[in-house]
Structure 1
C-alpha cells in the first residue's frame, strides 16, 4: 500500500472535512476502495495539493486541496465528495494509524451528528414515542417480545474486550424477571426467547465488527459467549413442556419455530450453531407428526430451488436429514448428508449424544464410522469429542481392534487419546513403541506414566531411553550432552534393577568408543564416572 506522510495538523483538517462533507455510505465505499488497493500514484504537489489515481470502472484522477478543501475535485461524475476522494484520504491516514479505526470513528461521529439534528428538529420524537413498547405480556406474540428486547438494548456499545460477556449476563438478568409471574409453560417459552435474542445479538456483533480494530477481541468474546448460550439451551430444553405449548399456545410455538427456522436455515457464517438449536427443538416435537410433515414439505420446497448458495443448501439438507433420524432412518439420513458440499463433524454430535443418553451403542458406532473420513480436518475440540464418544462405545464391544485402528489412522492428532488408552488397557509395549515411533523423549513424558510401565516391566523402557540418549548426542552441544548423562543415569538404574550390569558395562564402553572424538561428551562421561 502506498503511503505519503503529511503533517499531522493537515491530516486533522482533512479528517474534519471527512466528518462534515462526506456521506457515510460514500466513506464506506471509499474504505473498500482503499482496502482493495485501488489507490496509486499518490503524491504531494505545490505543497498543498494531494494528487492520486483511483481505479474503478476506469482510473480517476483525484486532487485534494489541504488549504481549501472545497476546491478539491475528482474526474468522476459524482457531484460533491466521492468515494475516490475518500479512498485517497484513507490512504493518507494509513501512515498515522489503521484506517478501519478512522472509519469506525467517522461512523460514530456522523451518526451522533444526525441524531442531534433530528432531535433539534423534533421530527423523530413523535415516532419514537409511538413505537416505545411496554414490558412483555403473556397475551402478546413472541415477535413483540423480541421487539421489546431490541429496544431495551438499542445502541449497545462494544467498548472493550469483555463487552459481549457483559451483554449476555445483563440481558439475562434484566429480561428474565419480567415473566416471573407468568404461567410456567409460557414462561419456559419466554425464557427461550430471551436466550434466542442474546444469540441474535451476538451474531450481529460478530458480523458488524469484522473490520473493526477490536475484531479479534470481539470474535473471541462472541465465540466464548456463543458456547455459553448453547450450553444454556441444552439445559433449558429438557424442561420445556412442548405438549402444553402445542395445546395452549400453538400460535406462539409456531411463530417461534418459524423465527428459528429463518435464522438456522439461512446458511450465514455464525459463531453460533443455529442448526443445533433448530434440530434440538424439533426433536421435542416427535409426537406432532402434522407439524413435522408441514416442515418437511417446506424444506423440500426450498431445496427444489436452483439458485441456492452452497451454505444454505447444506443447512437445508442437514435439517431435512434430521427428521429421518427422528424416524429412526439413520442410513437414509446419512445418504442425504453425503450430498453436502462440505461435511462438518459437529453436524453429527447431536446424534452421538442422543445415542449415549439412550445407550444405543451400535447406533453410535454406525455414526462414528461414517464420521471418520472428515475427522482428519476437524478442529481439535471436535476430534476430542469424537474420541471420547468412541471410547464410550468401544468399552461395550467384545474387542478394541477397530478403536486401535482408528487411533492409528488419525495419528499424530490422536496421540494423547491413544497413549492414555494404551496405559489404561495395560498395553505397555504398544505404549513404548508409540513413544519411540514419535521420537518422544522420556523427559517429556509424565513421571507417573513412566512409573506405571516401570512397575510392570522396566525392560520395556530401555529402548526408549537409548533412543533419547542418541538424539541428545546428535545435537553436539554441551547442554545436550549433560541431558544425555542425566538419561544415562536413569538407564543405568534400570539395568541395575534388571540385574544386567554386564550388558550395561558393554553398552557404555561401546558408546564412549563410538563417540571418542566428541571431547565435550567424553568430559561429561568422566564427570559421571562412566569412563576412566
Structure 2
C-alpha cells in the first residue's frame, strides 16, 4: 500500500513540475541538495501522509498529503510546493526506488526537447529544399502542409507534450518559407495553413492522449496564436481586391473548415472560434451559408454516441444569425443547457451590438440573463466567475445604454451577484439609492466598519437613517454572543448610534430605544457593566432628564 501511494505521489510531483521551467528546476535542485546532505530527519509514512522535520537554516515541519499533493504543508513561509517538501519527497521515494533515476527521467523531456529542436531544424531545411516556393494550387498547398507536419511532429520518437511548441514553431517557419511571393496569394496561403495546421495539431493532441490540463500547460497557446493570426488575416484579405480564381480556393477552404467541427472531441471553444471567424468574414455568400446548414443537419443525423454535437449546434446557430434567421437560432439556444451555451452567447451579443441591430440583440440578452446564473453556479471559483461577469456586463452595456434599458442592466447586476458587487454598489450609490445600497452591503456580508469612509461621510450627510439599520443589527448580533469581548464591540456600535440619532435631532428615539434595550438585557450584568464603563447608561439618563 505504501509503495502504491508513493508511486502515485511521484507521478503527481512529476506532472506538477516542468524541467523546462527555470523555477521548477531550481526547486528540484534545492530539494535534492537537502536530501543528499541528510537534512531530513526520521520520516513517518502513514496511510494518507508523510511527515518529517527538515533541518534547514531553521528546522521546519513538513507534511506531504499522499491523496492531494496540493493539501501538503510546510511550516516555512513559502506558498505551494517548497524545497523542504521536495526533500521529504525524495527521502520517502528512496524507500521504493532510485532518486537519481527519478530525477534523470524527470529531466529527460528537456534533453529530448534540445535533441528534437536540432533534428527539427535540419528536417525543415530538407523540406524547404524539396518544396521551394509553392505556386497557387490548393491541393499542393494542403499536401505540403500535411507532409511537413507529419514529418516534423507526427513522429513516434517522443511523447512529451513540452516538445510540441518547439517543433511546431519550426514547422511554421518552414511553411512560411514556401509561401507564394504575391501578397494576395500569400495571405490566402497562410489562412489555409492555419486551418490545416489547427486541425492537424488538434488531432495529434487527441491521438497522443494529452489531457486538457497537459495541453493547457504545454501548448494551448499555439492554438490561441493561430486564432489571433487568423483574425489579422481575414481583415487583410477583406480589404484587398481578390483574384478571379480565388473562389475555387475559398470553396476548398470552406470544406476543410467544416472538419474543425468534428475532427476531435476537445478544444471546443478554440475550434468554434476559428470556424465562426471564417464564416463571418470569408464565406459570405448566402447560398454557401444555407448549404452549410443543410450539411450540418446531415452530419448531426449521422453523429455517433461518442461524438460531441455542440460545435455543430453552435455553428448552426451562428449561420442562422448571419442569415438573419433569428427564430431558429433562438430555438436552438433555448434547447442547450445553461452551463454549455452561455459563454457562446456573448459572441452573438457583441456581433449584433456592433451592427447596432438592437431589435435582434434584445431577445438574445434576455435569454442570456435567464441562463447566466446557472452558468456561474456550474463554473465555480471566484476569479473565473468574476472575470466572466465583467465580460458579460461589458457585452450588454451598449444595448442598455443605447436603448435606455438600465433596468435590464440592473437585472444583470442582480443576477451576477456577488461577482458584480463593485459595479452594482457604484450604480446604487451614484443614483443616491442609499437604502438599496445598504441592503447590498449586508448581502455580501459587509458591516458599517467595512464601508469606505468617504461613502459613510456622504451618507451621514445625505441620508443617515440608512446607517441606523446597519448599526442596530451589528449591536444586536454582538449582544447575542454573550461574552465580554462582544459586549465591548456592541457598546462601540451603540455609541456610534447615539451620535447619529443626535445628528438627526432624534434624541428621544435614542432614549426610547436604549431604555428598552437595557430592560430586555437586564439579566446580562456584564453588558450593563460595559455600558456603565463607557458612560452610555449615564448618557441615557441625562437624556431622559
TM-score, normalised relative to structure 2: 0.61
Aligned to 1:90: none
Aligned to 2:318: 322
C-alpha distance in 2 between matches for 1:363 and 1:140: 41
Aligned to 2:501: 495
Bigger mean CA offset, 248-257 vs 465-474: 248-257
CA change 1:371–1:456 in 2 (3 A) is same
Aligned-pair Cα RMSD in Å: 5.2
The alpha carbon displacement at 1:408 in A equals: 4.2
Q: Please, which of 444, 447, 472 is the counterpart of residue 441 of structure 1?
A: 447
Aligned to 1:148: 148
Please tell me whether residue 348 in structure 1 is matched to residue 354 in structure 2.
no
C-alpha distance in 2 between matches for 1:171 and 1:350: 33
Aligned to 2:370: 373
The alpha carbon displacement at 1:353 in A equals: 0.7
Gaps of 5+ in 1: 9-92, 120-124
CA change 1:526–1:6 in 2 (3 A) is closer
Aligned to 2:400: 394
Give the 5 Å matches for 1:91-170. Answer: 96=96, 137=134, 139=136, 141=138, 142-143=141-142, 144-145=144-145, 147-148=147-148, 151=151
CA contact (8 A) 1:134 1:148 kept: no
CA change 1:290–1:426 in 2 (3 A) is same
Bigger mean CA offset, 323-332 vs 513-522: 513-522
Bigger mean CA offset, 221-230 vs 481-490: 221-230
C-alpha distance in 1 between matches for 2:494 and 2:170: 62
CA contact (8 A) 1:286 1:326 kept: no
Give the paired residue count.
430
Q: Please, which of 427, 433, 443 is the counterpart of residue 433 of structure 2?
A: 427
The alpha carbon displacement at 1:531 in A equals: 3.8
Aligned to 1:184: 183
C-alpha distance in 2 between matches for 1:133 and 1:425: 70
Give the 5 Å matches for 1:333-344. Answer: 333-340=329-336, 343-344=340-341
The alpha carbon displacement at 1:346 in A equals: 1.9
The alpha carbon displacement at 1:94 in A equals: 13
CA contact (8 A) 2:261 2:272 kept: yes
Instruction: Tell me the SS of whatever aligns to 2:402.
Output: coil
CA contact (8 A) 1:422 1:430 kept: yes
More helix by percentage: 2
TM-score, normalised relative to structure 1: 0.62
CA contact (8 A) 1:267 1:315 kept: no
C-alpha distance in 2 between matches for 1:445 and 1:168: 54
Aligned to 2:354: 357
Aligned to 1:312: 308
The alpha carbon displacement at 1:499 in A equals: 3.0
Aligned to 2:328: 332
CA change 1:368–1:510 in 2 (3 A) is same
CA contact (8 A) 1:3 1:94 kept: no
Q: Deviations over 1:415-465 (max 9, x none)?
A: 554434323443222222333455532344444544554453222222122
CA change 1:478–1:157 in 2 (3 A) is farther
Gaps of 5+ in 2: 8-92, 380-384, 539-545
CA change 1:209–1:132 in 2 (3 A) is farther
Aligned to 1:466: 472
CA change 1:397–1:276 in 2 (3 A) is same
The alpha carbon displacement at 1:159 in A equals: 7.9
Please tell me whether residue 281 in structure 1 is matched to residue 264 in structure 2.
no
